[in-house]
């Protein structure tokens, strides 16, 4: 990352995002419209629309368009560039980088909502106290927020506050919650101060995550359940508000009539400018009157809905890639309809994890043998139709301080795998009990992968028992440390190597994010040094050493990082996929018709 002492300039690092197969010369004559409603889809209902709880992909496709954060990713930047949103400026750090002051915009109001009784339903002004309230909610054990880790052991007195809330009786909770926390304070209505216990170079990224969006206490009082969750009634400051949610059917977002002034970006790369992304430069946002998100659980009906013109956007599933993409680009049938395709990569990867505390799998040589037994090329072909790239190290391309040259140490080699298995004490698999492989789902894709891995390990002489779980059951096993060998995946919370490496940091073991329960003293020491450093050659050296340790110890079978394919109808404009830009609806236009010039 860029130096964070003062953050006088916005933060930016490279990102692998490209727009592909965009039709040349397709600037259109667009008729005026009565109502611009974008039609998109979700693969399931959001698990929650409470910012302290929302952490799944469907929730985070919706919520960032309703709520806002202090900072956001610059929509048209070529890299991960952060700019103020609810903040009036970039944060100012003390010399020791432990005290941060953030000025807030004074023209921001929450959406109109009946919860604001003192103003007869008119949305009140956003204040610094709303951020204090939101941050405290992350630490409240009753909410079981998946975002607690974000400030755990980082904000001063945050751990003490959490312990106090855990110990408080139901009657004492209100007073316990109201007590001040030194780590997050409102100096006045429009100045937020954070106090750290150690440098946190990733702080700005954290402040762009929906987990840190402000929450009005009035909404929790009016709509909160017994634990204080407002999962079905978000109240935010964003460009849209939730109008209706029919479970298993659809969600409807409407333009927020009280949305503050925000303007479409005025700068982009020359490439994006040539593609027409600056036509709306400087214009008031949002352009849409609303968004309808239909719940479509299977790829086939989503594909049919898009090809029939009902959906405006479609993330391509692997099953439909052969129908949509040819060696020359988009399929002729889609080109004829002027469909557009955008590609994005950089924030997700898939792997298998070993529980290194397991009596059998604590054997490092056995883990190395199992890693050697998996043919990554066949895995990628099966799971992604050859649209992913093999992981050759822990850090994904496009992330700062990724080792310049990496090679997968225990890549597929069945002959060497058998030799390692014998060295591990199990020649030809003799004496090795069947291993349990837990899958994250029970759908057809999970079964395909389960059968594939069964055959891969069988060729080595290793038997596995595949267990197909519901996702909640899988997560429960993961939190309890009951997995042995598991199919796994990770979507980065922010574009920094620390967010990957923390998955192998010893103190984060189950129920934390380190479900491999990997606990290597030297790796932990390097992580603790790296985690408080800014990006640069010194940190890159530490990351290289950590990658080498992880590859040698093999707590994971490294898999692949996929490419996302997103189709859009020609009536949709300004669509630029971004790995972390989840609030994109405000930038999009949707026209009822499209005419070639």
pLDDT tens for residues 41-84?
A: 999 999 999 999 999 999 999 999 999 999 999 999 988 899 99
pLDDT confidence of residue 3: 30
Q: What is the torsion angle, in degrees rounded to the nearest 10, for the CA atoms of residue 499, residue 501, residue 507 and residue 510?
A: 80
Long-range contacts of 589-593 (CB under 8 A, 24+ apart): 589/36, 589/280, 589/287, 589/288, 590/36, 590/37, 590/38, 590/287, 590/288, 590/312, 591/28, 591/30, 591/31, 591/33, 591/36, 592/31, 592/33, 593/30, 593/31
Confidence band of 14 (pLDDT split at 50, 70, 90): very low
Contact 468, 442 (CB under 8 A): yes
Which runs of consecutive H residues, i.e. helices, occur in 424-573?
444-460, 471-480, 498-501, 521-530, 537-553
Is the pLDDT at 154 greater than 90, yes or no? yes
Lowest mean pLDDT among 284-293, 404-413, 416-425: 404-413
DSSP three-state, residue 187: strand
What average pLDDT does the segment 440-469 reach?
Answer: 96
| Continuous segment of H or E residues that includes residue 181 | none
Nearest to 191 by CA among 102, 324, 304, 293: 102
Which residues lie below 8 Å from residue 556, measured CB to CB, with a gap of 6+?
A: 351, 352, 353, 354, 488, 516, 550
* Distance in angstroms (rounded) separating the CA atoms of residues 369 and 155: 42
- In this prediction, residues 415-424 reach a mean pLDDT of 98
CA–CA dist 349, 157 (Å, integer) = 34
Please give the share of the chain, as a percent, with pLDDT higher than 90. 85
Above 50 in pLDDT, residue 222? yes
Residue 24, pLDDT above cutoff 70: no
The helix or strand, by DSSP H or E, that contains position 562, with its residue range, turns out to be: strand 556-568
Q: Taking each helix axis from N to C terminus, what angle separates 364-372 and 414-423, rounded to the nearest 10 degrees?
A: 160
**Cα–Cα distance measured from residue 160 to residue 181, given in angstroms and rounded to the nearest whole number:** 9
Note the pLDDT tens digit of each residue in 293-310: 999 999 999 999 999 999
Residue 26: Cβ-neighbour burial (10 angstroms; 0-12, 13-18, 19+): middle
pLDDT above 60 for 560: yes
The rounded distance, in Å, linking the Cα atoms of 534 and 512 is 25
Share of the chain above pLDDT 70, in %: 93
Which is it for strands 37-42 and 290-295: parallel, antiparallel or unpaired? parallel
The owner of tokens 């429009």 is 190
Residues 256 and 111: beta-carbon distance below 8 Å? yes
**Residue range 387-403: mean pLDDT, rounded:** 93
Of 8-12, 236-240, 253-257, 511-515, minimum mean pLDDT range: 8-12
Joined tokens for residue 279: 């036509």
Distance CA 509, CA 373 (A): 26
CA distances 550 to 274, 543, 560, Å, are 43, 10, 16
The pair of three-digit structure tokens given for residue 190, joined into one six-digit string: 């429009």
- With contact defined as beta carbons under 8 Å apart, do 294 and 249 qualify? yes
Domain 348-562 grouped into CATH 3.10.105.10: yes
User: From start to end of 230-387, where are the E strands?
Assistant: 240-246, 250-255, 290-295, 313-315, 325-326, 329-330, 340-345, 348-354
Please give the pLDDT value at position 512: 87
pLDDT band at 361 (very low <50, low <70, confident <90, very high): very high
β-sheet bridge partners, residue 436: 465
Helix (H, G, I), strand (E, B) or coil at 309: coil
Tell me the two tokens of residue 58: 């469907």
Mean residue pLDDT of the chain comes to: 92
- Residue 304, SS3 per DSSP: helix
Task: Provide the CB-side half-sphere exposure for 117 (13 A, CA).
Answer: 5
For the segment 447-473, the average pLDDT, to the nearest whole number, is 96
- Tell me, what's the pLDDT at 404? 85
pLDDT at 7 over 60: no
What CA–CA distance (Å, rounded) separates 506 from 521? 8
Structure token pair of residue 321: 């890639």
Ranking 16-20, 491-495, 523-527, 530-534 by mean pLDDT, the lowest is 16-20
Q: 593 pLDDT band (50/70/90 cuts)?
A: low
Q: Are 468 and 437 in contact (CB under 8 A)?
A: no
Q: Is a pLDDT exceeding 90 seen at residue 17?
A: no
| DSSP-derived secondary structure letter, 15 | -
CB 251 within 8 A of CB 62: yes
Q: Where are the domains of the chain?
A: 348-562
Q: Given the DSSP bridges, would you call strands 464-468 and 435-439 parallel, antiparallel or unpaired?
A: parallel
3-class secondary-structure state, position 480: helix
Task: Kindly tell me if the per-residue pLDDT of 517 is higher than 50.
Answer: yes
Q: At residue 415, what are phi and psi to the nearest 5 degrees?
A: -65, -45
Contact in structure between 392 and 386 (CB atoms under 8 Å): no
Sign of CA dihedral 234, 265, 562, 329: positive
DSSP state of 400: T
HEC-encoded secondary structure of 53-72? CCCCCCHHHHHHHCCCCCEE
Q: What is the pLDDT of residue 18?
A: 44
596 has pLDDT over 60: no
Mean pLDDT over 523-550 rounds to: 97
- Which residue do the tokens 């030297």 mark? 522
């Amino acid at each position: 990352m860029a130096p964070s002492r003062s953050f006088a300039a916005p933060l930016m690092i490279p990102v692998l995002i490209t727009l592909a197969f965009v039709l040349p010369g397709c600037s259109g004559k667009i008729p005026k419209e009565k109502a611009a409603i974008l039609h998109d889809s979700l693969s399931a209902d959001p698990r929650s629309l409470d910012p302290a709880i929302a952490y799944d992909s469907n929730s985070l496709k919706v919520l960032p368009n309703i709520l806002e954060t202090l900072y956001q990713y610059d929509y048209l930047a070529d890299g991960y560039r952060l700019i103020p949103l609810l903040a009036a400026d970039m944060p100012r750090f003390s010399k020791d980088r432990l005290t941060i002051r953030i000025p807030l915009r004074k023209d921001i109001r929450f959406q109109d909502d009946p919860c604001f009784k003192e103003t007869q339903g008119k949305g009140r002004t956003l204040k610094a106290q709303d951020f204090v309230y939101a941050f405290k909610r992350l630490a409240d054990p009753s909410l079981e927020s998946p975002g607690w880790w974000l400030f755990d052991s980082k904000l001063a007195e945050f751990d003490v506050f959490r312990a106090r809330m855990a110990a408080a009786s139901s009657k004492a909770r209100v007073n316990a919650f109201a007590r001040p926390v030194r780590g997050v304070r409102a100096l006045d209505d429009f100045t937020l101060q954070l106090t750290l216990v150690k440098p946190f170079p990733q702080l700005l990224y954290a402040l762009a995550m929906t987990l840190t969006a402000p929450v009005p206490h009035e909404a929790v009082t009016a709509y909160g359940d017994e634990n204080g969750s407002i999962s079905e009634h978000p109240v935010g400051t964003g460009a849209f508000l939730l109008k209706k949610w029919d479970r298993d059917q659809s969600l409807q977002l409407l333009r927020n009539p009280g949305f503050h002034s925000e303007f479409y970006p005025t700068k982009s790369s020359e490439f994006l400018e040539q593609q027409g992304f600056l036509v709306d430069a400087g214009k008031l946002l949002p352009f849409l009157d609303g968004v309808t998100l239909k719940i479509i659980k299977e790829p086939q009906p989503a594909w049919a809905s898009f090809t029939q013109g009902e959906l405006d956007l479609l993330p391509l599933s692997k099953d439909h890639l052969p129908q949509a993409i040819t060696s020359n680009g988009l399929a002729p049938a889609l080109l004829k309809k002027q469909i557009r395709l955008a590609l994005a990569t950089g924030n997700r990867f898939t792997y298998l994890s070993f529980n290194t505390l397991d009596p059998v799998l604590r054997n490092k040589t056995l883990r190395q043998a199992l890693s050697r037994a998996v043919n990554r090329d066949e895995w990628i072909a099966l799971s992604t139709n050859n649209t992913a790239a093999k992981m050759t190290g822990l850090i994904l391309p496009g992330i700062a301080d990724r080792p310049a040259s990496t090679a997968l140490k225990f890549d597929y080699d069945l002959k060497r795998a058998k030799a390692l298995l014998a060295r591990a004490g199990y020649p030809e698999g003799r004496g090795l009990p069947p291993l349990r492989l837990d899958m994250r789902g029970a759908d057809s894709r999970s079964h395909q992968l389960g059968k594939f891995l069964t055959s891969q390990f069988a060729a080595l002489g290793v038997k596995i028992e595949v267990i197909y779980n519901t996702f909640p059951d899988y997560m429960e096993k993961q939190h309890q440390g009951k997995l042995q060998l598991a199919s796994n995946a990770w979507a980065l919370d922010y574009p920094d190597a620390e967010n990957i490496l923390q998955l192998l940091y010893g103190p984060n073991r189950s129920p934390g994010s380190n479900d491999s329960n990997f606990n290597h003293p030297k790796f932990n020491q390097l992580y603790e040094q790296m985690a408080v450093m800014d990006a640069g050659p010194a940190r890159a050296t530490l990351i290289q050493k950590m990658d080498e340790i992880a590859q040698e110890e093999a707590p994971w079978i490294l898999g692949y990082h996929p490419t996302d394919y997103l189709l859009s109808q020609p009536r949709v404009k300004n669509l630029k996929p971004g790995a972390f830009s989840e609030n994109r609806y405000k930038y999009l236009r949707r026209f009822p018709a499209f005419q070639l010039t």
